[in-house]
Amino acid sequence: QVQLVESGGGLVQAGGSLRLSCATSGRTFGNYAMGWFRQAPGKERKFVAAVNWIGTATSYADFVKGRFTISRDNAKTTLYLQMNSLKPEDTALYYCAAGQTSPAGVLTATRVYEYWGQGTQVTVSS
């Protein structure tokens, strides 16, 4: 089992920044690919960003490219999402997730992730 706890969400004005964290515990953090997803009210959960085991490969949804950066600190067993130039349409509940794959693998599909956190709310005002 892997336990995931997100933090760092909040209310921010458009153009502002937030840094989300995802603290993990349980099985070896370094053996899991990690990702961030988001879900707005009444909408499907969407992929945001993902990183492989050791942080050497990443993938981003088109709507966050150039604004968001995913990173991980395996020594601290923590995943991060730096969000800059936030827009009102970024408002959502943000989830982190962990999934098993090859060391170089980056997972972008919701269904392949095994473990999920409870989410942290991000609200961007215009």
DSSP for 85-118, written as a single string: S--GGG-EEEEEEEE---TT-----GGG--EE--
CA atoms of 48 and 44, how far apart (whole Å):
12
Average pLDDT over residues 85-97: 98
Torsion of CA 73, 76, 78, 79, to 10 degrees: -10
Tell the residue number behind the tokens 């992730």, with chain if given: 113
CA atoms of 63 and 109, how far apart (whole Å):
16
CA atoms of 56 and 118, how far apart (whole Å):
26
Tell the residue number behind the tokens 């603290």, with chain if given: 23
3-state secondary structure (DSSP) of residue 89: helix
- pLDDT for 29 equals 75
Average pLDDT value for the chain: 95
Of 96, 71, 98, the closest CA to residue 1 belongs to 98
For strand 33-39 and strand 92-99, is the pairing parallel, antiparallel, or unpaired? antiparallel
C-beta atoms surrounding 43 within 10 Å: 9
Per residue in 37-76, pLDDT (tens digit) is 999 999 999 999 999 988 999 999 999 999 999 999 989 9
